[in-house]
Amino acid sequence: MNDLERWQEFTRSLADAGARITEADFPAGDFDRAEGFRHLALQTACWLWWSVGHDDPANPMFQRQNDLLLQWGGPNGDNVYRHSRVSPDHTYRIRGRMHSCDDFILAIRRDFMHMEVHGTIAQLTAHDIGIKPGDDFEILLGGEGNEPNRVPLPEGALSCSIREYYFDWLPAEPATFTIECLDAELAPAAPGLVDAARTARDLDEATAHVWRSLTYWNQYMLDARAEQTDNEFGGRHEVGKGLANARYSFCFWSLAPDEALVIESDVPDSRYWSWHQYSNAWWRAFEYGSRVTTLNHSQTHVSHDHKIRVVVAHDDPGIQNWLDTEGRPEALTTLRWFWPRTEIVPQPTTRVVKFDDLPSVLPADVPVFDEAARAAQIRARRQHLAWRFRS
């Protein structure tokens, strides 16, 4: 197969993927279809960038994914995600500065979760080794030694993934990360040495990522929803081979135009917790710059009785803890709690009520959040995200 034929095979695979997302197990509404094809286009960009642009572990660079555009697998709206190709055959040094970043988790992975062979095989958390906002830091990957800031590269390691955490959403400089391979040849490969075999391998990998990301996460969502009842939280959701300190609970909701979902929960006994809204099938985050579709522990009002009350509604109910539905009739709300202090699982309760009945359902001490307060809240979100995801 020559180069042109190989490229044509790749483009045919994209056409087939477009046909696949119109089949019966994917959402069929006009909006869902339009969103699905947009998602397919962005997945193609994401995985071509990774597989073709980040294919050499001897010349690593971080790729940013799960930002405002390249999303898959339920990204956390409080995070920046970075990934670099690595290999157990090499030793690496990561340097950076925290600036306004509150924490990060560095994970060594076999591959991304939607791929057949995946899983976290080593990890490090910034606060565990004393890295704080504003600090400079240096981390070693692989090689000999047992320093606190050295992370092993076990057999099968394919990528180094970093999740940066931003709690207060300040309009300030985000973290910076660089990665270098310490034992590879310094001279870059000449462009002529990129041969047909390498290009074919990279396109095959990109094809696998696009297809598996589309089909895996759709089935993941279908299976998770089938295991519980709509408009109720289903207890702790297990994520196999994931991060050691990560905990999740899901609520798939279905709401009429005049309905709202009232969530009441104890405060999770953890260092960090948050609420997030996601689309079905594509598992993309709702737009969270110009809409309030995420709330973390520093952004959520806790009532005097130490309970959290959150309202999922199509219209603004005039309270701080509103999660906007984007006008969707159904989707997913996720509760995350990371770095738990105990293994007590939060048990959120829910009620579907008429939107007009909310004032009589919510406690009197839930503060009013007027139009000016909402505008200030959204303005602060936009200003922070402009810094966090700047080029």
Instruction: State whether the Cα torsion 29-34-38-44 is positive or negative.
Output: positive
What does DSSP say about strands 79-85 and 159-165: parallel, antiparallel, or unpaired?
antiparallel
DSSP for 112-171?
A: -TTSSS--EEEEEEGGGGT--TT-EEEEEESSS---TTEE---TT--EEEEEEE-SS--S
All structural domains of the chain, each given as residue ranges with its CATH number in brackets, are: 1-56+189-224 (no CATH), 78-187 (2.60.120), 227-388 (2.60.120.1600)
Q: Burial of 319 by CB count in 10 Å (0-12 exposed, 13-18 middle, 19+ buried)?
A: buried
Rounded alpha-carbon distances, angstroms, from residue 249 to 86, 90, 144, 225, 252: 32, 38, 39, 12, 10
Closest by CA position to 272, among listed 66, 73, 77, 67: 77
Q: Which tokens go with 348? A: 């959120």
Per-residue pLDDT of the chain (391 residues; tens, 9 = 90+): 888 999 999 999 999 999 999 999 999 888 899 999 999 999 999 999 999 999 999 999 999 999 999 999 999 999 999 999 999 999 999 999 999 999 999 999 999 999 999 999 999 999 999 999 999 999 999 999 989 999 999 999 999 999 999 999 999 999 999 999 999 775 555 555 678 899 999 999 999 999 999 999 999 999 999 999 999 999 888 775 678 889 999 999 999 999 999 999 999 999 999 999 999 999 999 999 999 999 999 999 999 999 999 999 999 999 999 999 999 999 999 999 999 999 899 999 999 999 999 999 999 889 899 999 999 999 999 999 999 999 7
pLDDT at res. 29: 85
Rounded alpha-carbon distances, angstroms, from residue 37 to 15, 18, 211, 243: 11, 7, 13, 31
pLDDT at res. 194: 75
Closest by CA position to 165, among listed 296, 328, 325, 7: 296
Q: Whole-angstrom Cα distance, residue 249 to residue 238?
A: 9
pLDDT at res. 327: 96
Judged by DSSP in three states, 70 sits in coil
pTM: 0.94
